[in-house]
Amino acid sequence: MLELVGDIYCLAIVLIQNFGYNKLMFALINWYFYIAVTKETVFLNKEKLDSILDECKEMHSWSSLVKTIGLVFSNPDTLLQSFQCKERDDQMEVEHNEFIDIRKTKAQTSTQGTKINVDLDSLREAYSSLVGIPDLPFQNALINAIVSLSKAIVLDLRYNKPIEKCPNYLNIFVIIMEIPLLHSPEFIDSAYPEFCKALGRVPLAGQSELAKYWSKFSAERLQEMVQSLQQLITVKLCDADESRWSNGAHLNDDEIITGPVRVMKILYYASLYGGVRDSIEMLKTEQKIVESENELQSELFAGAGAVGMDREIKEIRQANEDPLGKELGVRAADCRKPLVPFEDFVNELLNEKISVETDYKYKLESEGEDLAHTAQVKFSFANHSFILNMPSKQMSLYLDSRVQMYKERRSSVIQTLIHGWAMMPFLRLRVSRNSLINDALVAVSII
C-alpha cells in the first residue's frame, strides 16, 4: 500500500510541476492520501528512517526514501504522529520560568503540561542523517510536500479548529521549523514562505504554547531561527520588483513578507519569556505605584472642578497591550536580558520599504478589531514594532501625535458649540520662570 501511495505522490509532483497548482488537483491528492492513511497509518521516527536508509543503500536507489518523505510530510495527520516522545514514568518536571537547553536534554523528554511532545533529539538526529546524503535526492519531494502541507494547514485552521481537537497538532510546526535546510535558496523560494503563512494563522492559544515551548531552547538555537526568518524576508524583498507594491498593492498586504514577521513575533515573545525578567514582587509593587498615581490624578481633577474650573475630564489613553504578550504575561519593559538581543529582530531593508503613512492607517483600522484573530486583522508593522528601527518608530509616533492633536482640536470646537466656551483649541499652561521645565512637565502630566 505504501508503495502505491508513494507512486501516486510522485505522479502528483510531476503533474503540479508541469501543469501548475490546481485546487481540484490538490483536493483529489489529499483525498487519496486520506483514504490511504486511514487504511495504513504511516509515520516516521528515527528507527524507521534508519531502516529505510539502509534499504535504499542496499538497493542503490533513493526512491523509497523519496516516497516516504513525500507521503509523511505532505499530510498533517501523518506528520503529527511522527517523532513523538515515548511515554515514560520518570518524566522531567520543570518550572515554567526555568531555563533548559533542549539540545542537551536526554531523548524523549518533554516539558510538564505542554501540548507538544516532539522527541527533539531523535528528530535532529534524523535530519542530520538526511542532510548527510550526497546531492540530497529527497529535497524536491520535501519542498513540494511542505507546500502541500502548508495549504492543508491553512484550510484546517480556517474550518476545523484542529488545535482544539488535537493538542499534539502543534508538533507539526516544531518538526518543520527544525529542518536544517530552511535557509537554503531552494526552500526560501516556495516552501518556507508558504509554511510561514500557515504558522502565522495559528490562533492565539497555539502561539502561546509555541512561544512557551521555544522559550526553553538555548539562546543560540533561538537566534538561528530568527536569522533564518530574517534571511527569508531580506531575500524576498531583494527579489521583488519595484512595481510590486504600487497601484493599490501595499507591503502590508503581502503574506510572503507578513507571514515571516508573524512567526518572528512568536520567537520574539519566546525570547522574552525565556529571558531574565523582573520578579513578580517587583511588578506588583510597580502596579501599586501606578494605581496610586492614577488615584491622585483623579483627585486633582475633582479639586479643579470644585473651584470652578469646569471642563471635560479626558479619558487617559491606555497603552495597547499585545494579545500574545498578555496571554504569556510578559512585556519587553520587564525583560532585563532576552535570549535573543532586541537588535537581532530589526530588519533594516524592510524599514526602507515600509510606508509609515500606510502602515499607520492600517494600525488605526486594526484598533477596533480583535488582534487575537490574526488572519482577519489588517496587518500593521507598528503592532510588530520589534522589527522596526528607530526612525520608523519615531515617524509612527509623530503621526500618532498629529492625529491626537486633531482629535483634541475637534473636541474643543464641539465643546465650544455645546457649552459656549471661548474658542481656544490650544493648551495654556501657567508656569514659573524659575522652574519652567519642571512646572510645565507637572502641568502636562495632570491634564
DSSP 121-139: HHHHHHHHHHHTSTT-TTH
346: left (phi over 0), alpha (psi -120 to 50) or beta: beta
* Domain residue ranges in the chain: 2-202, 216-278+314-447
Q: Where are the alpha helices (DSSP H) in 215-279?
A: 219-239, 255-274
What is the model's pLDDT at position 423? 58
Q: Which of 138, 113, 5 is nearest to 62 (CA)?
A: 138
Q: Which of 252, 216, 222, 271 is nearest to 374 (CA)?
A: 252
- 288-344 per-position pLDDT tens digit: 777 777 777 666 656 555 444 445 555 556 667 889 999 998 988 888 899 999 999
pLDDT greater than 70 at residue 378: yes
- 411-433 per-position pLDDT tens digit: 777 777 777 666 555 556 566 66
Cα separations in angstroms, 52 against 33, 58, 61, 98? 20, 10, 11, 38
Task: Report the alpha-carbon distance of residue 132 to residue 55 in Å, rounded.
Answer: 16
Q: Name the β-bridge partners of 276.
A: 337
What is the model's pLDDT at position 231? 96
Tell which wins on pLDDT, 352 or 285: 352
- 258-282 per-position pLDDT tens digit: 999 999 999 999 999 999 988 777 7
Task: Report the alpha-carbon distance of residue 307 to residue 124 in Å, rounded.
Answer: 72
- 249 pLDDT tier (thresholds 50, 70, 90): confident
Q: Which of 175, 234, 169, 233 is nearest to 207 (CA)?
A: 169
- 208-239 per-position pLDDT tens digit: 999 999 999 999 999 999 999 999 999 999 98
Residue 100, Cβ neighbours under 10 Å: how many? 17
Give the 3-state secondary structure percentages of the chain, helix then strand then coil, rounded to 5.
65, 0, 35
Q: Name the β-bridge partners of 118.
A: 84
What is the model's pLDDT at position 35? 44
- 103 pLDDT tier (thresholds 50, 70, 90): very low
What is the model's pLDDT at position 277? 86
Mean per-residue pLDDT, 168-172: 94
% of the chain surpassing 90 pLDDT: 49
Task: Report the alpha-carbon distance of residue 9 to residue 295 in Å, rounded.
Answer: 67
Task: Report the alpha-carbon distance of residue 250 to residue 41 in Å, rounded.
Answer: 44
pLDDT greater than 80 at residue 163: yes
pLDDT greater than 70 at residue 362: yes
